[in-house]
Structure 1
Amino acid sequence: MGGKGKIRRWRISFHRSSSAADKKEPPQEFLCPISKSLMFEPAVVSSGETFERACVLVCRDLGFTPTLADGSTPDFSTVIPNLALKTAILNWCSKTGSERPNPPVYSDVESIVRALMGSSEVRDSPKIRVSERELLKAVAETPPVFFSHAATELNPRNLYSSSSEESVVANATPLLPFATRPSCFSYSSSPSTSSEFVSEEASSANVSSSSSGESENFVTRMRSLDVYEQEQAVTLLRKTTRTNEEARATLCSERLLFALKQLLNSRYAAIQTNATAALVNLSLEKANKIKIVRAGVVPLLIDILKNGFEESREHAAGALFSLALEDENKTAIGVLGALQPLLHVLRTGTRRSRHDAALALYHLTLVQSNRVKIMKLGAAGILLGLLKDPEVAARVVLVVCNLASHDEGRAALLDANAVATLVAVLRNRAELDSESTRENCVAALHSLSHGSLRFKGLARDAGAVEVLRKVAETGSKRAQEKAVRILEVLRGPEGPRTWIGRR
């Protein structure tokens, strides 16, 4: 009887009841692609997707590999528990009052998988044996060599005029003085493009007029067994989406994203680089951002950050920055493990990749769960150390501001000597690249002063009063306001009237 009761409960959660319609629908990434149900034990497989663990085990037992909505086939050779996603699901259930998922029953999962197997046989006839399909897939993933440099630089608004290309607007915040477009996007292409490619590019100018046909043409060519054909297709896609805003929207189909994913795995520098750059271009379209993350691209971008070619890494950082602009993507990107690789690129990458990694981290740490994750990685000391690096200090201080806005981050920053570091940056005013950087340093100090009994002593030891007086006299209006508030905290009850009078 106990077993039957368990089966019944699991079935209710597996096939959502009509009463669940009144509750908030769970994020798509919380649902198993096979069962379409909230996952009880999410697990990451070799190809990067996350499934209910029981669904993976049943598929392996039955020797079945499902075809997902985007046309991809997952690799079930390894299964790793996704504890971070499990925690996120449970937290979502608690916040929304939704019922927590129950452990699935093998027989119920088997019924669903067998139903998928039946529909797959009808769809896939004439049949190809699994071994042959896998062999063809492996051959198709072997791509070419063509290096056209389409770079991606983040341009400060006050230094460069914006181009005619789309510039996606990020979360409005007075602390972010940068254009919200990846660094690698603003460079011109390398002049080493072949004449064949140039003529092919010209012929694609009207790609949006027959979007579905053109998208399918790109898919066919990128899936070709001819490495040269793959290279030409992905390079053309990169060029087309760089200048054609409409093409970014119309070409970004599930099938195209799946074909692009295969080329992100390429060991050929030109193919991997151009595929990653094309993904950056597609991600500039706001409507594409969620679609790209749900296509399972983020784990591949993380792998490129770790093991990819240098220019590919630059574009991968830019893609993650662009995708992180979308609020619905922030938690998923953090759960999938992007924070640590981005932090590493911030310390060791090229100028372009460091800039985009910093802004990706800024947008990701607007979410509390990501702030907690990055603090557990020991980021406080790392970020404060990078404030001494003029190449990235202006962007790193934005991340510090986010971390200083909650108790756990504030405590870690104080432990890492953040007050002395920020005061030192403000004292060396000549090293600040802009007034906005100065404002952000003062804003970080202001956040650190909230509810902290330690702040007064640390600020006085660092000589903050003298530095903040100068900011209050010569800084921008926003910097002056925050400097005065900090001085009021340091001076005590009589401070505000005295200081305001001197102003």
Structure 2
Amino acid sequence: MEIQQALKLTIHKKWPSSPKKTPKDSEPITTTATSKLKWKKIFFHTKPKPKIQTPPEEFLCPVSRSLMSDPVIVSSGHSFERSSVEACKNLNFAPQLPDGTTPDFSTLIPNLALKSAILKWCHTTHTPPPLPHNNLVQQTSISPDTPNTNLVQTSISPDIVPTEDKLSDRDPILDSLDEKPPSSNLRRHAETDVPIRPTHLYTSSEESIATTSASTPPFQLATRPSCCYYSSPSSSEIEPAATPEEEEIMEKLKSPTQNIIEEALLSLRKLTRMREETRVQLCTPRILSALRSLVMSKHVNVQVNALASVVNLSLEKSNKVKIVRSGMVPPLIEVLKFGSPEAQEHCAGALFSLSLEDDNKTAIGVLGGLGPLLQMLRVESERTRHDSALALYHLSLVQSNRSKMVKLGSVPVLLSMVKLGHMTGRVLLILGNLGSGSDGRAAMLDAGVVEYLVGLLSGPDSATGSVRESCVAVMYALSHGGLRFKAVAKAAGLVEVLQKVEKVGSERARHKVRKILEMMRAKEVEEEDVDWEELLDSGLGCRTWGRLGGGLDESSANSAEF
């Protein structure tokens, strides 16, 4: 007992028990403690409200007013969601844009830069990326009695009910799918269908330019569960087995050593130089994708050999559209602007070769190839100038490209080349194409083309038959400009010159001359009351008369007839 008491005394001395504080005796909470508690409550109990970011206007489809998942550029230069364009085409409906213009849906070109910018904006602002409207085209199969405007607005609404949900109420195949558990459905698709590919992988064929008609997805793809959806491969993805030559070249192109890459490019350039079947076999998505990156190489030898290989591949007609759809045109334009003279020479040749295909003409113009080609008309390399002129001639056969060239100021540039005697025949052919449009005719009349060509026809250079025919072709295109052309032509003495050409020119030239003279004599009675001097002195009056007296529309003949 004594030992226990001694232990208790020792413990009490070492740890004396403190008296319990009553609530009244407790220390008051200071202001500092209160603020700390508030901060703790704010930190642990409040959630930051997400800020709703408004997407930029250029990221929205003009029709659906939603973020574009697959933006495409149409022939008129506007960007739309691909599914919106396909829906409008199925409905035979042309929407009117806020600026009052109507887009042209004849050609679709993937806008990869805009697509990348949209995805980057979504990642930066933590906005869910836009989902593709897989069933939007199917939604347009409705009664023709409904007005088109309402159809487009309702069918492209982002809150639309998926097609498979509507079909499941009446489709026996979907009913049979719903009766089974999801796992069995997925197992059945996995055993019978093509394996599902991850959505984040991209191939060069996914960057291809869309054709004007959309392919309808197979029925089994339209009725499968949404978790099993995948994009069906396009025809460009279904390629034959790779040849040993392709495998060997691709193996070397993947090498990190520059010498091995140059060796592969030299081999590809040699193989595609002479043999047509080899050009077809080696124009595959893998090789085009590799060449697309090597075209932008900083090593001159690599860049030049890659460009030469592209030129050789483009010589085959079946490869021309495939090369443009692989996304090769933007790198070519970039090198045409800033590359070495040898690289620019190959770029001009490639664009000329690609422009021979009608399906590529609008695409090259929309992607910005006209301006650099016009600049190449002034370089020192004769081959670059000639290929650029030929490319511009073929591209100017399309009305949208003609309008772009006029806006780029091509008429004064081309006229100055004719005056200097540089590629006179080819430049006159381009001017003849530009003269088939009203804007081109106005620009050429403003630049004094009629006066100079009259002097050229009456001079010694007119002895060349091709130059004479080209001048007559340009005059024939300008003769559809109405009273303004007649005023300028009479003042320049065109009638007398044409009468001389009619005697010594070729049959085609004489035929055009007779057409021009007939058009100038057609309204002589109406023109008797016109004061030509006053009309010529007044630029505004000339333009007004030209608009009122315009003969034919944009479809008038051009120099291609020669």
Q: TM-score range by the shorter chain?
A: 0.5 to 0.7
Contact preservation (8 Å) 1:351, 1:391: no
Match of 1:280 in 2: 311
SS in 2 for 1:51: helix
Question: Could you say which residue in structure 2 is the equivalent of 1:242?
Answer: 273
SS across alignment from 2:327: coil
Contact 2:87 2:152 in 1 (8 A): no
The corresponding residue for 2:119 is: 55
* 2:308 pairs with 1:229: no
Q: How big is the shift at 1:212?
A: 2.6
**Aligned pairs for 1:49-448 within 5 A:** 50-51=114-115, 53-58=117-122, 99=152, 119=198, 212-430=243-461, 434-448=464-478
Give 1:19 deviation, angstroms.
7.4
Match of 1:472 in 2: 502
Is this contact kept in 1: 2:109–2:363, CA < 8 A? no
Structure 2 residue identity aligned to 1:473:
K
Q: 1:11 to 1:264 in 2, by over 3 A?
A: closer
Q: In 2, Cα distance between the equivalents of 1:480 and 1:57? A: 62
8 Å CA contact retained: 1:401, 1:447: yes
Distance in 1 (alpha carbons) for counterparts of 2:158 and 2:303: 39
Aligned to 1:136: none
Letter in 2 for 1:324: S
Counterpart code for 2:326: A
User: Cα–Cα, structure 1 residues 60 and 363, in superposed 2: closer, same or farther, change >3 Å?
Assistant: farther
Report if aligned partners of 1:54, 1:104 keep a CA contact under 8 Å in 2: no
TM-score by length of 1: 0.61
Q: Which moved more, 1:265-274 or 1:399-408?
A: 265-274
Alpha-carbon distance change, 469 to 19 in structure 1, aligned in 2, over 3 angstroms: closer
Measured in 2, the distance between the counterparts of 1:440 and 1:378 equals 21
CA distance in 1, matches of 2:439, 2:277: 44
Change in 2 beyond 3 A, CA 1:438/1:15: closer
Gaps of 5+ in 2: 1-53, 55-60, 69-80, 93-103, 130-149, 163-195, 204-239, 526-562
Equivalent-residue separation in structure 2 for 1:456 and 1:30 (angstroms): 41
The Cα shift of 1:389 comes to 3.5
Which residue number in structure 1 is paired with residue 513 of structure 2?
483
Letter in 1 for 2:365: G
TM-aligned CA deviation for residue 488 of structure 1: 3.1
CA 1:64–1:251: 2 relative to 1, 3 Å: farther
The answer (yes or no) to whether the contact 2:348–2:384 under 8 Å persists in 1 is: yes
- Evaluate the alpha carbon distance shift between residue 229 and residue 98 of structure 1 in structure 2; reply closer, same or farther with a 3 A threshold: farther
SS of the aligned residue for 2:115 comes to strand
What is the deviation of 1:9? 8.7
State which drifts further: 482-491 or 245-254: 482-491
Does the Cα contact within 8 Å between 1:346 and 1:354 map onto a contact in 2?
A: yes
- CA contact 2:89–2:105 (8 Å) conserved in 1: no
1:460-482, Cα deviation, whole Å (9 max, x unpaired): 33232332122111111000111
For CA contacts below 8 A with separation 6 or more, give which structure has more relative contact order: 1
Deviation at 1:223, TM superposition (A): 2.6
- Offset at 1:15? 6.3
Against the structure 1 CA distance between its residues 446 and 257, is the aligned structure 2 distance closer, same or farther, given a 3 Å change threshold?
same
> CA shift at 1:355, angstroms?
0.8
Relative to structure 1, is the Cα distance of residues 460 and 123 closer, same or farther in structure 2, using a 3 angstrom cutoff? closer
* Matches of 1:27 and 1:436, distance apart in 2: 35
- Structure whose CA Rg is larger: 2
How far has the Cα of 1:26 moved from its partner?
6.4
8 A contact 1:216–1:256 mirrored in 2: no
Q: Which residue identity is paired with 1:228?
A: N
Question: Which amino acid is the alignment partner of residue 302 of structure 1?
Answer: I
Check the 8 A contact 1:388/1:425 in 2, yes or no: no
Q: Is the 8 A contact 2:441 2:481 kept in 1?
A: no
Distance (Å, rounded) in 2 between the aligned partners of 1:389 and 1:217: 50
Alpha-carbon spacing, 1:54–1:270, altered in 2? closer, same or farther (3 Å): closer
Question: Sequence identity, in percent?
Answer: 43
The equivalent of 2:493 in structure 1 is 463
Structure 1 vs Structure 2 CA RMSD: 4.1
Q: Work out the CA distance in 2 between the residues paired with 1:373 and 1:122.
A: 36
Deviation at 1:380, TM superposition (A): 1.3
Q: Deviations over 1:162-201 (max 9, x none)?
A: xxxxxxxxxxxxxxxxxxxxxxxxxxxxxxxxxxxxxxxx
Q: Which moved more, 1:454-463 or 1:20-29?
A: 20-29
Deviation of 1:403 after TM superposition, in Å, equals: 0.7
What is the deviation of 1:279? 0.6
1:17 and 1:474 mapped to 2: Cα distance? 53
Cα distance in structure 1, aligned partners of 2:274 and 2:490: 53
Q: Cα gap change, 1:268/1:484 in structure 2, threshold over 3 Å: closer, same or farther?
A: same
